[in-house]
Every structure is written in structure tokens, then in C-alpha cells.
Chains A and B, each alone.
Chain A
Amino acid sequence: MSTSIGKRELDETGRKLLERAMRGREEFEDLVIVPIFAVIVALILGALVMLATGVDLETIGRSFVALAKGSFGSINAVSETLTSAIPLVLAGLGLGLGFRAGLFNIGAEGQILMGGLAAAIFAFSFPGLPSFLLIPLALIAGALVGAIYAGIAGVLKAATGAHEVITTIMLNLSSYLILIYMLKRPYVQVAGRSDPVSKSVPPAGELPRLLDWLDPNLRLHAGLFLMLAAVAFVWWVLFRSKIGFAFRASGANPDAARYAGMKSGLIIVAAMASAGALAGLAGAAQVQGVLWRATPGFSAGIGFDAIALALLGRSHPVGILFAGILFGGLEAGGRQMQVDAGVSIDLIGIIQALIIVFIAAPLLVRALFPWGFARAPKGGK
């Protein structure tokens, strides 16, 4: 009897040691190989969808060339890619931060709308301010309102246990209506228009374009630096600061975090508010950098794409940055594809969704491509 137990313990230790050695390899697989497989398979399936809708092979080839050209093929393409990536990455960082803290925030869409609206209102309310004050203050207004809007869900969860998925969905649905209501107020609406459109952001409040010395049509704006700074800042918060440790601890094991003396309610509210601030910043950057005004539903699904982004980037700031550039590239390339090959840009939505299926279900990718991985998947992981 005792020998058999000893043997089992030995096996156990051996397995653990092996696992420790394997771990680097497995993390590499999860972080690099799975996403690469996911993108390739999604593109192949995208081609199959095109075939199924009667697009001939030559056009499919042309559309992939256009996709590549439109995303990274020229200076204009790169500019468009990065422009699309800015709000995606900012909102994605917020969602990733929430995921790390164990919060599933579906509400980025509403937080973007509220933040963008706040930035627009602030900017046209103080047209006299100089740029170096107006730009940051309007951005801060957007972040603040986004934080408050997300904070509602955080406070409700902390105080009553209301699940953030439901509350943020409801806050999203409400935000569309609040936006339309606000856009119809005489103070906000452009004079002489009957449809709900806000007044324009004054030139002093616009994020300056970075490449207009090359070509005035290049839309890349200073939000790029905001995005990079946010990536660095979120990385520092998550992995180097005390509050970030509290976020990650309560995300990984809420009970343990509580027993360690962390205030769970406070952490939930802080994490939700930070996520909302980043989403609000995304909305503000979009309004001040690209759109210059707020219109109904101007977020155009960025908040939902950002969920996909945060998953793809594994809730790691650097991963989210790369995922955002990938999605921005798909977005920009998709527009080119529509022009060059006549294939609808909605195909990009399919490809993005497929990428996430494969990313979020690594077991599925491992089942599809067993040869790409070091060892067979074990059930129960």
C-alpha cells in the first residue's frame, strides 16, 4: 500500500516538474501559435464564404491583395490602419483591464458614446481656450464621463452584486437614447439642422494631424501618442503598481484577495471606472481626431470590436496593441477590398468573429491542428 502511494507521489512530482519545464513552451503556443493559426484559418474560411456567395477565384485573390495593400501597402494604408486602431486599442485596454480584474464589461460601446459626447460638448463650449488646454481638457472630460458611466455598473456590482454583464448591456441600450436626447437639445444641436447632430469641435480642440505635411488627406492624428502612452500606462498599472496587483489578484481569485485584506468592492468600482475612463477616452479621441462632432451611434461598434480585441490580445496591453493594429488593418484593408474587388466590407466582421472563436477556444484549434502543438490536449484543462 505505502509503496503504491509513494509511487503515485513520485509520479505527481515528476508530472509537476515536467509541467514547469513545459510551461514556457505552452505559453509560447498560447500566445503566438494559437493567434497565428486563428488568423490564417479565419482568412481561409473568409475565402470559403466568398466562394459560397458566388465570388470567383480571381476576385478572391484580388480581394486578398487589396486587403494587404489597403492595410499596410502604402503610407496612406498605414495611416488609415493606425487611425482605426487608436479607438480600438484605447477601448480594448479598458476591457482588458476589466477582464484582468474578473469583470466582464460589455459596456464599452455606451462608455465610448458618453465619453465622445462629453468631449464634443466640452470642446464647443470653450472655443476660446488655446489648443494646449482645450485638447487635453476635452479628452479628460471624455474620460471622466466614461468613468462615471461605467462606474454605475461597478457601484451596483459592489453594493448589490448585480452582474455587470446585464447592467452594462442595459447601460449600452440606454446610452443610444441618452445620446439622441442630448443631441436634440438646442445647446448641443447644430443650428439649422433638424436631425440630431452636435455642433462641431472647434479647430483648437481637434487632435492635430501628424502626416499632413506629406499629404493633407492622411488622417492619422495625435491620438496615436495617446494610444501608445495608454498602453505603457496600463502595463505599468497592471504589472508594477499596487492597485494593479489588487486588480489581478481579485480577478484570479476573489476569495483569496478578500482574505488578504483587499477591499473587493473598492477594487470592482476602481476597475470598472478605469475601464470606462479608457473607453471614454477612445470616444473622445474619435470625436476630436476623426469625426469632429457627435452623431447618433457614432461609435459604430468599436465597443464590441474592442471586446474581441481584448480577448485576442489576452488582456495584455502589448497584446492588445498588436491586436488593435491587426483589427485596424483589417478595417482599413476591408475598405480597400470593397473598392478594388467589389467585396463587401462586412466580410471583415466574419473574419474578426472567426479569429475570436479560435482564440477563445484553444482546445478547438488544438483539435483542428494537432501537429502545431507540442503535446496532445488533455481534457479537463
Chain B
Amino acid sequence: MTAVTTNPAAETLEGSSARRARITGGILIALALLVVFVLDVGAGSVATFKLTTARDAVQVGDLVVPGQFNYIAAAIIAFLGARQFLRGGGKWTSLSIGLGLALAVMAFLVWATADKSFNLTGMLQATMVRAIPIALGGLAGVLSERVAVVNIAIEGMLLAGAFTGALLGSVLGSWLGIVGAVAIGGLFGLMLAALVVTYRMDQIIAGVVINLLVLGLTSYVTSQVLAKPEFRHLNNAEVFRSWKIPLLGDIPVIGPMLFNQNIFVYGALILVAVATYYLFHTKGGLRARAVGEHPRAADTLGVDVYRTRYLHVTLAGMVAGFGGAWFTLGSVGRFDENMTNGRGFIGLAAMIFGRWHPVGALMAALIFGFADSLQQKLALLNTPIPSEFLAMAPYLATIVVVAGLIGKARPPAADGQPYVKE
């Protein structure tokens, strides 16, 4: 995505970096004030975080955090902010922001759970699960935008994958359901590639159109066919159960989060690793990135720009199709109209947040998943903060990142531009 267009009137390089340092410093100091005054936990109260449940093989005691933790957190955030504000910039910027936000989130959790107890491991496990479709959507975005094809159609590809997964999964079994979802995702990827590479349609329009088309097709078939009683069995697939890796799955906290999950979580982690290796450590990946940065140069050196784009956008569609299958085969087993509900767009945000890197997209997806599951758990804790604002936080954070207020996200240079071979 061309998130940051050059605006020659706006800034010189030097001035912008100093300005950014001041902005980040200001934000951190504001955060520290927020923690001290709003998230003020009485010194006497404690927050209890449960790390294991009674059923776990290895037992760990509860994590008990006294209320003073928040003052210490605020002090550290304020120090980071002041340092950033006065000296500013450099490689410390992202680290300070990351650390500051992490501390603020911890302080928030302590405040929310003060004098109560809270199943931390359960929330982390939910975070992982909720992050998966977003991470796969983000990975699909990385794959296609690295070859300079803007992919707004991720939402539609997820939806197509979810639908096919449910339909084929009901008829042929869940494994073939996944295969079908991947194939359909790839098909829509191919369609996007054909529209934007061969027919040179505007990339954003092509994406919007595919989203509309998939939404129309899946909703139509669902209400026309699957809703009828005699066809109900076509929308009732078996869900993949979680599969615990021996030994590793018994590690407290990390075990349930990473090693006691279903195939989609493992699949996503493997795909992210493979994609990272492919994009940054192989010849093919180098060529793909060259096509995204400077297609003319890549073409001159003998890389087939059109074929590279076709291939990677199709691959992106397959990844998104797999992510889509999560909604049905990894979660509820049946398809509902528009069940992806904007998750593809959040995946796109995760890609930008993760700076067009697979691991970055996964990390961003985890943050989004965290906010999502936190929002659900907070309802149980009765905090005065409306859950809507918490749910909104990732979107606002994305806007802040895209605006370049914190750190700068640079898209592939040729992103969004069609290439015409001479």
C-alpha cells in the first residue's frame, strides 16, 4: 500500500525526524500521566493473574502484582518519554515506544484486575487464536504488495476461503475443505492478477470489486441454497480440534499459547517463517522484491515482471484462502453471510503496521488479537472503560502509523503502479 506519498512541501528529512522525536516523546509523557492519574491503583490492593488452570500438568503459582507496580511503570515511561523528547530520535525511537506501550498495557491490566483475579494464560491463548486470520491476511498482503500489487481484496479472499472451507469440508471432510479453500483463494488471487496485470484495471478498484463479488456470491449461495432445510448438511463441517505437542504443550503460559492449538495456528506460524526465509534469503524472493521496488530494472535484468506478479498474487490468494478457512473449519464449522466482518482490512493494517515484513505482520496481528480478546475479557472485569474504545484502539494506532507520527512505514517503491512492458 502506498501509505506514505512523498510530499515535498511538507518536510525536510532532518526537521521531520526531530519533529517525530518530539511527538513520540510527548506521547510517552502523556502515557505516563495517564498511568499515574487514570490507572491509579490504591497501594493496598493487588492484582492476581492466574497462569495455570487445575487441569494443567505443570502447576505454577499465581502472579500477584501489588498496586505500586503502576507508579514504577509510569516512572519508567516518563523517563523514556523525557529522554526521547530532549535527545530524541535514532534507533531508540521504536524501542522506547514499544517498551512504553507494553508497560502501559501491563499497568492497564493491573488496574483492571485490582483486587480481582484474571486468567492471563486464557487471554493469551485467545489472543493467538484471534490473531491468526489477521496474520494470514497480513501475510497475503505482504506477498502481493512486495511485488507492487495493492491487495484490497484480502477481505474477499478470506470470505471465499471461509465459504469453500465450510462447503467442501461438509461434503468431503475437513482436510479437503482446507485444500478447497486454498484453491479458491488462489483462484481469486489469479483473478486479481489478471485484472490488474493483464487488463490494467486500477488495483484498488479491482480489489473493491472482488470483495463485492465474493460477498455477493457467498451470500447468494448461502441464502439461496444452504439456508434450505434439505441442504443444511452442506454447511456443517467438522472443526479441527487443537492438537497438543507433547512436552512443549505442558510449559506454563507459553505452552497453551503456542503448542496447544489447532492446525491453523501452526500453519500460520510455519507460513510466516517460510515467507520470511523466501522473501529475504532466496533468489526468488530477491527477484520478487525487485519487481516491487523497481520493475523496469528487474525487467531489464531478465525477471519476468508479469509472471512474478501473477505468481505472488496467486500465492497471496492461497494464503488468504487458508486464513479464511479458519473462520469455519478452525472455529465454528458453519458459514454465515459476511462472517469475516472486516478482518481482511485489519490484516491490511497489520501489514502496514508490520512494515511489509511477514514477522512484522504477525506481531501486529498479535497486537490486534490482544486488543480483541482483552476487550472481551474486560466485560467480565467490569471496568469503566467502554469496550468500543478498546476495540477501536488498533484502528487508531494504524492511522497513527500510516500518518508517520510514530516511526515511518515505507511501502515498496512501485506499490500500486501498473507496469507496461516496452
Contact = CB atoms under 8 A, between A and B. Distances in A.
Interface string A165-188: 111011111100110110000000
A350 B201 contact: no
Contacts of B224: 53, 55, 343-344, 346-347
A66 interface: no
19 contacts: A156-B403, A160-B7, A161-B6, A163-B1, A163-B3, A166-B3, A167-B402, A173-B342, A264-B9, A308-B212, A343-B224, A344-B219, A346-B222, A347-B216, A347-B220, A353-B209, A356-B208, A356-B209, A357-B213
A68 B296 CA distance: 50
A210 B345 CA distance: 40
Interface string B323-364: 000000000000001000010011011001000000000000
Contacts of A181: 386, 388-389
B204 A104 contact: yes
Nearest to A179: B388
Nearest to A357: B209
Contacts of B337: 346
A169 B404 contact: no
Given A160-B10, A167-B402, A349-B216, A361 B208 contact: no
B221 A53 contact: yes
Interface in B348-405: 348-349, 352, 386, 388-389, 391-392, 395-396, 398-399, 402-405
B5 to A, nearest CB: 5
Interface in B93-128: none
Given A171-B395, A347-B216, 4 more contacts: A170-B396, A171-B399, A304-B208, A364-B201
Nearest to A367: B199
B140 interface: no
Interface in B267-317: none
Given A265-B9, A356-B209, A170 B405 contact: no
Interface string A323-353: 0000000000000000000011111111111
A360 B403 contact: no
Interface in B38-56: none
Contacts of A357: 195, 209, 213
Nearest to B196: A361
Contacts of B4: 160-163
A349 B348 contact: no
Contact of B220 (A264, A349, A367): A349
Nearest to B206: A360
Nearest to B344: A169
Interface string B193-220: 0010001111011101101110111011
B30 interface: no
Contact of B404 (A162, A165, A345): A162
Given A165-B1, A173-B342, A181-B386, A352 B216 contact: yes
B391 A177 contact: yes
Interface residues of A, number: 53
A349 B212 contact: yes
B225 interface: yes
B216 A167 contact: no
B162 to A, nearest CB: 16
Contact of A166 (B10, B195, B398, B405): B398
A278 interface: no
Given A169-B345, A174-B392, A174-B396, A346 B6 contact: no
Most interface-central of B202, B206, B221, B224 (chain A CB within 10 A): B224
B217 to A, nearest CB: 6
A350 B396 contact: no
A161 B213 contact: no
A169 to B, nearest CB: 5
A165 B221 CA distance: 30
Interface in A173-219: 173-174, 177-178, 180-181
B262 interface: no
A165 B416 CA distance: 12
B152 interface: yes
B388 A156 contact: no
A162 B3 contact: yes
Contacts of B417: none
Nearest to B218: A346
